Amino acid sequence: MDKINNFYDHELDCLISAIKDGKHDYHTFTISSLNTDFPEIRTVVLRGVKLDPLSIFFNSDNRSPKIEQLKNNPICSALFYDKVRRVQLRFKAKAKIHYQNKLSSKVWDMTPLQSRKCYMGPFPPSQALDQYHPNIPLEYLKTDPEKYHSEDGYVNFAHIELVVLEVDVLKLHHDGHVRFKVTNGSDYIYLSP
């Protein structure tokens, strides 16, 4: 068990490193949610990790369909894959949406101006358009907004916390794959790969 404990701890360290390292494969991940008709998946950017209890965080436009889906059913899955090391992390989680609260305000205050303009778009994400629009204020296509003007985006900003219920870890190797799951933060169970 010590071997998988150490392996799991290393993967958690990789997640933490990936928050700031845009080249790390864990910097972006896929999240699924349930819409009334079928599952939806999309790629988001890892913005935080809390270890005890384990939670992972990302940001979203509050007008996005995924927010409504997570409000209607907060149970979701997240998938990370490191293609060089051939490690897959699958998380079963419960989403908490932080909107217009102390945590979302704190994260917003740390959000760079270049990222803030993404929340200043005139259209809700996924809205059908008659013609192309980059969905940021046109005056900021090649520049960052002034700080005072960027505050307009906060009304659309949400910080999403995925409280992890279970982690399924798979390490692919030609001499035999290793797979295990972690429940309750510390209960390890080997699984057949």
Write the pLDDT tens digit of every residue in 6-25.
999 999 999 999 999 999 99
Q: Please check the confidence at residue 120 and state whether its pLDDT lies above 80.
A: yes
What is the predicted pLDDT for the residue at 103? 97
Q: How many beta carbons lie within 10 A of that of residue 177, not counting itself? A: 14
Does residue 66 contact residue 58 with C-beta atoms inside 8 Å?
A: no
Domain boundaries, the chain: 2-190
Sign of CA dihedral 163, 25, 16, 119: negative
What is the predicted pLDDT for the residue at 99? 98
Q: Please check the confidence at residue 163 and state whether its pLDDT lies above 90.
A: yes
Mean pLDDT of 165-173: 96
State the Cα–Cα distance between residues 39 and 45, nearest whole angstrom: 20
State the Cα–Cα distance between residues 18 and 82, nearest whole angstrom: 11
Does residue 65 contact residue 54 with C-beta atoms inside 8 Å?
A: no
What is the predicted pLDDT for the residue at 55? 98
Helix (H) or strand (E) holding 19: helix 2-20
What is the predicted pLDDT for the residue at 1? 58
Specify the CATH superfamily of domain 2-190: Electron Transport, Fmn-binding Protein; Chain A (2.30.110.10)
What is the predicted pLDDT for the residue at 36? 85
Does residue 170 contact residue 177 with C-beta atoms inside 8 Å?
A: yes
What is the predicted pLDDT for the residue at 190? 92
Pick the range with the lowest mean pLDDT from 62-71, 144-153, 179-188.
Answer: 179-188
Cis peptide before 53 (omega within 30 of 0): yes
Instruction: State both tokens at 4.
Output: 């998988």
Q: Using a cut of 0.85, tell me whether the model's pTM lies above it.
A: yes
Among residues of the chain, what percentage have pLDDT more than 70?
A: 99
CA 2 to mean position of chain CA atoms: 29
Q: How many beta carbons lie within 10 A of that of residue 182, not counting itself? A: 22
Does residue 23 contact residue 81 with C-beta atoms inside 8 Å?
A: no
Instruction: State both tokens at 69.
Output: 């889906």
pLDDT tens across 58-73, in order? 999 999 999 999 999 9
Q: Please check the confidence at residue 115 and state whether its pLDDT lies above 80.
A: yes
